């Protein structure tokens, strides 16, 4: 499929186009720092343009105030006299405007940018210095050095460069002020026998030296901080780019592999969550999840620790949207599409169950619909951060008295007897997700967590035939309601049975790739709006996931 035909191409370009977006930031967020030579070159070009723009605006402001004062206060103001005085000022402003304009055009090489900004800086300092050569007042000797100081300090703040290069540019930029001061002081004191030119020259030289030292120190501090941040963003062979989401046990970033250059999602355990038990839990999560190879389960590529002990793992980067966002954008899904998607979810869960893993947090926000290899509507089940081994030998990591999950999708037994959570609990959550897709609303509506838990324990779901306006395929309603049975023994015995049941409902022409592409083409704008609204409001999921003791829930 061509990129122009990809129904996800425009959507994926939106902020946070994979995983659940978050508007919150963290101490481990470095999206403003360039991550490779091309990005650093583009960053330099943007800063050079900003440098020229700021200096042009500030210099123009000073010139305007000076000229206005002259025409208002001078006895016989003359435009010719004023232009003669301000010609070098105007030249410096013109150079900065030119620098701004040049840096905004095309992709300039790093060498061109460095040469251009250094030349504009030095010529501007020289222009301000030469400007006072015709002066007859010793006070004006300070004008060139103060102007040069302002230009050089502004450059040190805006241009990311090495301290050595800043030192060189500052020395050359400050030199004209010293030379002009010497010649001007010599001229003004030519009638005396005492070389009074030495005093002002030494005075200005001290100011220029201070300017050079301050600019070099400023550049060293800023450049050093950028280097430290760039190093902090490097986790093994992965370079972090931007934060794209987070789960119960970590923060997820988009990243690039140093050699493969493929987009990757890297999950990092935040420093504030560090601790022996959290490290063990996080490491256990990646070890268990990496055993899963089903095409509808997110793939784990790698994991490791940095020299300073930061734990991370890398997984495939997904471009797509969660089931929550799909329903919020367009309402209930048509039955053929629901069957297509939930059959894939069942396959992913079944593999986990076969190797002894329980997900424990199946919900629409943990299920993404993606475009993989040109195939639309490919499901990926995410976030095995609460995964539990059926025969776990680590009770400290899977506490029997811990209520874990999202209230809207928790089975009755996970509320009353967390230690008994197993395959039936995932089946219950699976049924709640299918109900949500079919009806466009959750199985139970409530304002508090206690109410939701009470409904799960006591209330029978409303039949889908009354909740769904359109007819459902034969067998779908009893299958979904069976998943939501209060008694675990009344539910389907396995995810494999669910996959086979949904497959039996499919017809060859029920939901095709043409249907999927047409759907994404029709609703991409709706999805972008939903994603933007959720990002702005900080919603990462429909309801918060909880992990607290059974006594707290009761």
Please give the share of the chain, as a percent, with pLDDT higher than 90. Answer: 23
Please give the average per-residue pLDDT across 406-429, as a whole number.
90
For the chain, the first-to-last Cα distance in angstroms comes to 53
Tokens, residue 244: 């794209």
Taking residues 137-159, report their average pLDDT.
73
Structure tokens that stand for 553 in this block: 């829930």
CB 141 within 8 A of CB 181: yes
Asked whether 414 and 361 are in contact (CB, 8 A), the reply is: no
Residue 106 in this model has a pLDDT that exceeds 80: no
Helix or strand holding residue 343 (H, E) = helix 335-354
C-alpha angle with apex 19: 352 to 229, nearest 5 degrees?
115
Of the segments 26-30, 211-215, 283-287, 496-500, which one has the largest average pLDDT value? 496-500
Is the CB of residue 300 less than 8 Å from the CB of residue 289?
yes
Mapped onto helix, strand or coil, the DSSP state of residue 381 is strand
Task: Provide the pLDDT confidence category of residue 343 given band limits of 50, 70 and 90.
Answer: very high
DSSP state of 443: S
Instruction: Return d(Cα 152, Cα 124) in angstroms, integer.
Output: 10
Average pLDDT in the 282-297 region? 83
Instruction: Check if the beta carbon of residue 360 is closer than 8 Å to that of residue 513.
Output: no
Q: Tell me which of 136 and 374 has the higher pLDDT.
A: 374
Question: What is the percent of the chain where pLDDT is above 70?
Answer: 75
- φ/ψ region of 296 (left if φ > 0, alpha if ψ in -120 to 50, else beta) reads alpha
Locate the domains of the chain by residue range. Answer: 11-31+233-316, 37-232, 321-553
Q: Which of 119, 110, 115, 62 is nearest to 89 (CA)?
A: 62
CB 444 within 8 A of CB 452: yes
Q: What is the pLDDT of residue 462?
A: 93
CB contact at 8 A, 428 and 484: yes
Q: How far is CA 290 from CA 33, 215, 295, in A?
A: 31, 51, 13
User: 469: pLDDT confidence band, cut at 50, 70 and 90?
Assistant: confident
Partners of 367 in the beta sheet?
Answer: 381
pLDDT at 536 over 80: no
Instruction: Give the pLDDT score at 369.
Output: 94
CB-based contacts of 520-527 (< 8 A; 24+ apart in sequence): 520/7, 520/8, 520/11, 520/376, 521/7, 523/329, 523/330, 524/7, 524/10, 524/11, 526/329, 526/330, 527/11, 527/321, 527/325, 527/326, 527/329
- Specify the pLDDT at position 12: 42
If residue 551 lies in a helix (H) or strand (E), which one and from where to where? Answer: helix 550-553
* Phi, psi (degrees; rounded to nearest 5) at 367: -130, 120
Q: Give the pLDDT of residue 352.
A: 92
Cα(276)–Cα(136) distance, integer angstroms: 75
Arithmetic mean of pLDDT, 57-79: 81
Helical (H) or strand (E) element with 264: strand 263-268
DSSP state of 268: E
Question: What average pLDDT score do residues 366-393 get?
Answer: 77
CATH architecture of 11-31+233-316: 2-Layer Sandwich (3.30)
The pLDDT of residue 164 is above 60: yes
pLDDT at 393: 44
Query: Using an 8 Å Cβ cutoff, are 157 and 218 in contact?
Result: yes
Q: Is the dihedral of CA 299, 503, 371, 472 positive or negative?
A: negative
- Domain 321-553, CATH number (from 1.10.287.620, 3.30.390.10, 1.10.510.10, 1.20.1530.20): 1.10.510.10
Lowest-confidence region among 241-245, 388-392, 420-424: 388-392
Cβ-contact 443, 484 below 8 angstroms? yes
Q: Residue 418 has what DSSP assignment?
A: G
Q: Using CA atoms, how far apart are residues 321 and 17, in angstroms rounded to an integer?
A: 7
pLDDT band (50, 70, 90) for residue 347: very high
Three-state SS letters, 491-523 = CCCCHHHHHHHHHHHCCCCCCCHHHHHHHHHHH
Q: 453-461: which pairs have CB atoms within 8 A and are 24 or more residues apart? A: 453/407, 453/410, 453/415, 453/553, 456/410, 456/411, 456/412, 456/415, 457/412, 457/415, 457/416, 457/486, 460/486, 461/435
State the angle between helix axes of 323-330 and 513-537 in degrees (0 to 180), rounded to the nearest 10.
90
Q: What is the pLDDT of residues 15-52, one digit of tens each?
A: 333 444 343 333 333 334 444 567 678 888 888 888 88
Question: Is a pLDDT exceeding 90 seen at residue 271?
Answer: no
User: What is the average per-residue pLDDT within 144-156?
Assistant: 78
- Per residue in 180-196, pLDDT (tens digit) is 877 777 776 655 544 55
d(CA 497, CA 210): 79
Contacts for 56-65: CB closer than 8 Å, 24+ residues apart: 56/93, 56/96, 56/97, 56/100, 58/150, 58/154, 59/89, 59/92, 59/93, 59/96, 60/93, 63/89, 63/90, 63/93
**Are 125 and 151 spatial neighbours (Cβ–Cβ below 8 Å)?**
yes
């Amino acid at each position: 499929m061509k990129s122009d035909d990809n129904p996800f191409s425009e959507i994926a370009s939106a902020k946070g186009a994979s995983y659940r977006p978050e508007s919150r930031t963290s101490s481990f967020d470095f999206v403003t720092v360039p991550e490779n030579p091309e990005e650093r070159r583009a960053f330099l070009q943007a800063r050079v343009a900003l440098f020229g723009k700021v200096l042009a605006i500030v210099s123009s402001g000073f010139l305007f105030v000076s000229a206005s004062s002259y025409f208002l206060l001078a006895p016989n103001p003359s435009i010719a006299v004023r232009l003669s005085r301000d010609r070098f000022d105007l030249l410096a402003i013109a150079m900065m405007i030119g620098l701004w304009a040049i840096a905004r055009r095309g992709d300039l090489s790093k060498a061109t940018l460095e040469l251009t900004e250094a030349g504009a800086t030095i010529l501007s300092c020289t222009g301000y210095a030469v400007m006072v050569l015709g002066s007859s007042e010793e006070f004006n000797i300070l004008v060139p050095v103060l102007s040069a100081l302002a230009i050089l300090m502004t450059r040190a703040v805006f241009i990311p460069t090495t301290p050595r290069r800043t030192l060189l540019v500052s020395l050359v930029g400050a030199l004209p002020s010293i030379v002009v001061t010497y010649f001007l002081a010599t001229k003004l004191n030519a009638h005396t026998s005492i070389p009074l030119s030495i005093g002002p020259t030494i005075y200005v030289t001290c100011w220029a030296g201070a300017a050079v030292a301050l600019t070099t120190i400023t550049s060293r501090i800023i450049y050093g901080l950028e280097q430290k941040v760039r190093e902090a963003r490097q986790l093994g062979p992965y370079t972090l780019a931007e934060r794209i989401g987070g789960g119960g046990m970590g923060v997820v970033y988009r990243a690039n592999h140093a050699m493969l250059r493929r987009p990757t999602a890297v999950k990092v355990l935040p420093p504030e969550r560090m601790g022996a038990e959290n490290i063990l839990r996080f490491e256990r999560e990646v070890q268990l999840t990496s055993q899963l190879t089903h095409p509808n389960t997110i793939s784990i590529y790698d994991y490791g620790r940095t020299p300073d002990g930061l734990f991370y793992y890398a997984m495939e980067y997904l471009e797509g949207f969660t089931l929550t966002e799909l329903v919020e954008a367009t309402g209930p899904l048509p039955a053929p599409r629901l069957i297509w998607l939930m059959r894939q979810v069942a396959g992913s869960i079944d593999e986990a169950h076969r190797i002894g893993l329980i997900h424990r947090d199946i919900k629409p926000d943990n299920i993404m619909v993606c475009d993989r290899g040109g195939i639309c509507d490919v499901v990926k089940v995410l976030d095995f951060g609460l995964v539990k081994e059926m025969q776990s030998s680590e009770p400290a990591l899977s506490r029997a008295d811990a209520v874990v999950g999202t209230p809207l999708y928790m089975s009755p037994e996970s509320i009353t007897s967390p230690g008994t959570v197993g395959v039936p609990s995932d089946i219950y959550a699976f049924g709640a997700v299918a109900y949500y897709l079919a009806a466009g609303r959750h199985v139970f509506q409530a304002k508090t967590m206690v109410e939701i838990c009470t409904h799960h324990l006591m209330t029978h779901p409303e039949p889908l035939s009354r909740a769904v306006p359109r007819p459902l395929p034969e067998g779908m309603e009893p299958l979904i309601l069976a998943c939501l049975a209060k008694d675990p023994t009344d539910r389907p015995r396995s995810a494999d049975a669910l996959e086979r049941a949904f497959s039996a409902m499919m017809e060859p022409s029920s939901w095709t790739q043409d249907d999927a592409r047409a759907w994404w083409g029709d609703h991409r704008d709706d999805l972008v709006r939903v994603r933007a609204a959720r990002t702005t409001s900080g919603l990462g999921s429909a309801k918060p996931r909880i992990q607290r003791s059974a006594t707290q829930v009761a």
